[in-house]
Structure 1
């Protein structure tokens, strides 16, 4: 029965928000069979996972030297004939010249407006509860003071290295930890800068390791050790870390490749980096650490991460939709931000299906966000301060999502949230259904202090909406009705 459910879920998980700049990743992280999810055995991990599921709403930040050019993160280095890998600019015609120029961006990368406390304050005011920051993307540039490579933010060749806050990841983690956030380290398993992954003798043909690991086991062991040592640094020297969020799902054991999934069929080699060793080390230094080895179903994917998409139905395992506030994961000068209305309704939809929302904002090369990003967070926070009790610490309630309704609850308290269409007229009454099991309920409209008149019919509970309540709702992106048993 469970496998039948998950097969149906696998085929129903749609790319509702697929965007050109992240098309490859969205395909990879949404086209996934979750039938073999493994519940963590470690009680501390289970405890932290339960807390993470309660806090619902987090911030993701993609930031690196690529923001200087205003281009897609890392992917223009990938020699694949795909739209998301397209090179532009004066070096585009020659991949070798392009890679050299790309890696030279560091010499002018100088985000002097970097102020992570401002970000943490804005995220806190938006009622976000956790953060995931890119310590290293696929291009290999490290936003932390690793000792394993000089391709990093603190190296003298990088202009920002002379700044007293040059160890950016440490500063970000500290600022958000100071606001009581759970802290997550995004880390790319592939590394397109290190010669033990893209060997200069074997020019890369695609995103994968450029040589056969089985034929060159010593070189592959060098890469495994390089990866282990970098993650060990993050787990040792950067304070309390709650989540290790690993990207680059093609770096995986051959035994985990699912031939029914199109993108996994293209992985040419076994790329096992020994996740048991990495996770064991991480949890010895960070007890209860959540490990998110994205798309590699099994014991090291503590929660699954559909990207730029929301499952069509309730999913009973821990999951998180990672989505962009605008159109791009990385900074672009003119961003097309989603409305706060859209973002709030997205959060409600996800929570009713048992998920979390991890919302990405991309810092600029100067080290700040677009003004619109701050505005969206203010508007989301204003709604959550009134209606957050229907989100945080709740569980989905059947039927979860039905037409424009979302259902959540906390014990005997139930919430029915209506998601109005743009400019929808507020009616004089509204009917709450699926209330048969609620014994003598009282109904409140969150944000409206006065009691409401309620009558029971065969259709459900008919709630009268007086004119002041209707005026209130005209400004609200989602209407939350609270039902409590007497």
Structure 2
């Protein structure tokens, strides 16, 4: 591929961020003003907002200069410098030696010339998403927003526009929730392979992009940690995201005091704005109850008492745009959403735009298919809560992170449950993971001998149909005949079961003290 290398004469001078004392003092002043201080005890008073519990489904975006080579995955900026890897060999064969054409040289070719943020957001709305979380900066150190702390940013190199700011403005205009993700925490070692041989990583002229490039066995320096904190503070103050997602890297022990400062700052700023916000974290980087746990490409084994999140992608191959994706199909994406929601979670589903700013047709089609299913069956998803059991059936996807290497082999016996309570009505939704070939959903948990059902069934409906379905109840199961409209298409059918109201004595606490 014939790409011209970066013209260094087009670059501004490096930004001097060596003295952070004034900026850090501002951070500490916000923390001191409260209501949160930078201790886990104080941060444990945080409560997850209801809008996030109700939203259930959001869109994640991995975009950046790594989509220009479109080889391997979004870790190309690292693997292209690691000798012995396919990415290293591909880079030399395609672009030449690393001292002549390095990662910096891809940045001018990330142009986003066909980028239309309003068009993107219209697609996300059709998909049924309630929040949108673009990556503000990945491990590569290239800011997808307008930062004052680096010259390596989209407003100066590449598209020469604030692509993240434009997207978040379109998200807000569409009445969706805007978020931002930062993956910078691993940048301190990310490019270190290029320090081992003659490459542009060794060139002092580009140290502000590639540095520190330390060995991974070491720990990040205080200067890097301060810069990480202040870059994140800058995202908070400039864009006011209501979701702040952290990727891996911050679980490194040296980040711990900076994480506490950042969380206190963010929660205090949100209190000033009058907004409820969410932090997503992985592993054990936050104390329980101080933010929302995220499981990458995975699920829980059962219902978690408090809300959590699964972030996954439409592709198994890469989070960013690459050639030759191994895409999941629409049914698998819907199954992931349903399984997560039944276990008290939200799904953050990733796509990867091309470097010209277009969303790949395959990925747009998958989002449209999920949205078509939600348009009919979203009553069972949005605003729901877990039932007494998350589901039934023979198939149990492996719990934990990185378990989506292959699709779960669900059957028509696999069903997930959610619950919705309205004034005078108590609904349980039985969501089929696969549409049954014989057109009948058999729900064991609602058989007359069920041990989990403590009230009579008042009514049975099938979402997507206005007709009263034929249904019978035996000791073994509730047998519902599905209408023809629910026998085909991605995802499964949904049966809504209305239960008799709870006995009056079970509602004493609710009515106690009310003036009625």
Range into which the TM-score falls when normalised by the shorter chain? 0.7 to 0.9
Task: Specify the SS of the correspondent of 2:90.
Answer: coil
Structure 1 residue aligned with 2:223: 222
Structure 1: tracts of 5 or more residues without a match: 1-37, 214-219, 254-269
Q: How does 1:350-365 map to 2 (within 5 A)?
A: 350-365=340-355
The alpha-carbon deviation at position 289 of structure 1 amounts to 2.9
Matched, 1:409 2:419: yes
Distance 1:414 1:434 in 2: 10
Structure 1 residue aligned with 2:388: 398
Distance 2:42 2:126 in 1: 32
The alpha-carbon deviation at position 150 of structure 1 amounts to 0.8
CA contact under 8 A between 1:292 and 1:300: conserved in structure 2?
Answer: no
Question: Do the aligned partners of residues 105 and 293 (structure 1) sit closer, same or farther apart at CA in structure 2, a change above 3 Å counting?
Answer: same
Matched, 1:185 2:163: no
The alpha-carbon deviation at position 305 of structure 1 amounts to 1.4
Structure 2 residue aligned with 1:314: 303
Structure 2 residue aligned with 1:377: 367
CA contact under 8 A between 2:334 and 2:491: conserved in structure 1?
Answer: yes
The alpha-carbon deviation at position 142 of structure 1 amounts to 0.3
Q: 1:204 aligns with which of 214, 217, 220?
A: 214
Question: Do the aligned partners of residues 271 and 367 (structure 1) sit closer, same or farther apart at CA in structure 2, a change above 3 Å counting?
Answer: same
The alpha-carbon deviation at position 114 of structure 1 amounts to 0.9
Structure 2 residue aligned with 1:455: 472
Q: How does 1:435-474 map to 2 (within 5 A)?
A: 436-465=453-482, 469-470=483-484, 472-474=486-488
Q: 1:172 aligns with which of 167, 176, 199?
A: 167
Task: Specify the SS of the correspondent of 2:66.
Answer: helix
CA contact under 8 A between 2:464 and 2:485: conserved in structure 1?
Answer: no
Structure 1 residue aligned with 2:492: 478
Question: Do the aligned partners of residues 329 and 228 (structure 1) sit closer, same or farther apart at CA in structure 2, a change above 3 Å counting?
Answer: same
CA contact under 8 A between 1:432 and 1:463: conserved in structure 2?
Answer: no
Structure 1 residue aligned with 2:329: 339
Higher mean displacement: 98-107 or 176-185: 98-107
Distance 1:132 1:42 in 2: 24
Matched, 1:304 2:288: no
Q: Please give the per-residue CA displacement for 1:213-256, whole angstroms capped at 9, x wherever unaligned.
A: 5xxxxxx3322321222122211122x31111112325532xxx
Structure 1 residue aligned with 2:409: none
* TM value normalised by structure 2: 0.72
Matched, 1:243 2:233: no
Task: Specify the SS of the correspondent of 1:305.
Answer: strand
CA contact under 8 A between 1:39 and 1:302: conserved in structure 2?
Answer: no
The alpha-carbon deviation at position 196 of structure 1 amounts to 8.4
The alpha-carbon deviation at position 61 of structure 1 amounts to 0.3
The alpha-carbon deviation at position 455 of structure 1 amounts to 2.8
Task: Specify the SS of the correspondent of 1:77.
Answer: helix
The ranges of structure 1 where at least 4 consecutive aligned residues each deviate by more than 3 angstroms after the TM superposition are 38-43, 78-83, 90-96, 192-200, 203-206, 270-273, 427-432
The alpha-carbon deviation at position 91 of structure 1 amounts to 3.2
Distance 1:53 1:185 in 2: 18
Task: Specify the SS of the correspondent of 1:306.
Answer: strand
CA contact under 8 A between 1:80 and 1:205: conserved in structure 2?
Answer: no
Question: Do the aligned partners of residues 243 and 100 (structure 1) sit closer, same or farther apart at CA in structure 2, a change above 3 Å counting?
Answer: farther
The alpha-carbon deviation at position 337 of structure 1 amounts to 2.3
Q: Please give the per-residue CA displacement for 1:375-409, whole angstroms capped at 9, x wherever unaligned.
A: 22222111111110101111111321211010111
Structure 1 residue aligned with 2:277: 289
Distance 1:224 1:95 in 2: 34
Task: Specify the SS of the correspondent of 1:153.
Answer: coil
Structure 2: tracts of 5 or more residues without a match: 1-39, 192-205, 394-413, 448-452, 501-516
Task: Specify the SS of the correspondent of 1:107.
Answer: helix
CA contact under 8 A between 1:251 and 1:273: conserved in structure 2?
Answer: no
CA contact under 8 A between 1:60 and 1:133: conserved in structure 2?
Answer: yes
Distance 1:251 1:485 in 2: 45
The alpha-carbon deviation at position 301 of structure 1 amounts to 5.8
CA contact under 8 A between 2:61 and 2:134: conserved in structure 1?
Answer: yes
The alpha-carbon deviation at position 81 of structure 1 amounts to 8.0
RMSD, matched Cα: 3.0
The alpha-carbon deviation at position 138 of structure 1 amounts to 0.6
Question: Do the aligned partners of residues 120 and 402 (structure 1) sit closer, same or farther apart at CA in structure 2, a change above 3 Å counting?
Answer: same
Q: How does 1:155-170 map to 2 (within 5 A)?
A: 155=156, 158-161=157-160, 166-170=161-165
Distance 2:445 2:277 in 1: 41
Structure 2 residue aligned with 1:66: 66
Structure 2 residue aligned with 1:25: none
* TM value normalised by structure 1: 0.76
Question: Do the aligned partners of residues 434 and 212 (structure 1) sit closer, same or farther apart at CA in structure 2, a change above 3 Å counting?
Answer: same
Question: Do the aligned partners of residues 91 and 82 (structure 1) sit closer, same or farther apart at CA in structure 2, a change above 3 Å counting?
Answer: closer
Distance 2:175 2:446 in 1: 37
CA contact under 8 A between 2:457 and 2:497: conserved in structure 1?
Answer: no
CA contact under 8 A between 2:44 and 2:290: conserved in structure 1?
Answer: no
Q: How does 1:27-42 map to 2 (within 5 A)?
A: none
Task: Specify the SS of the correspondent of 1:409.
Answer: strand
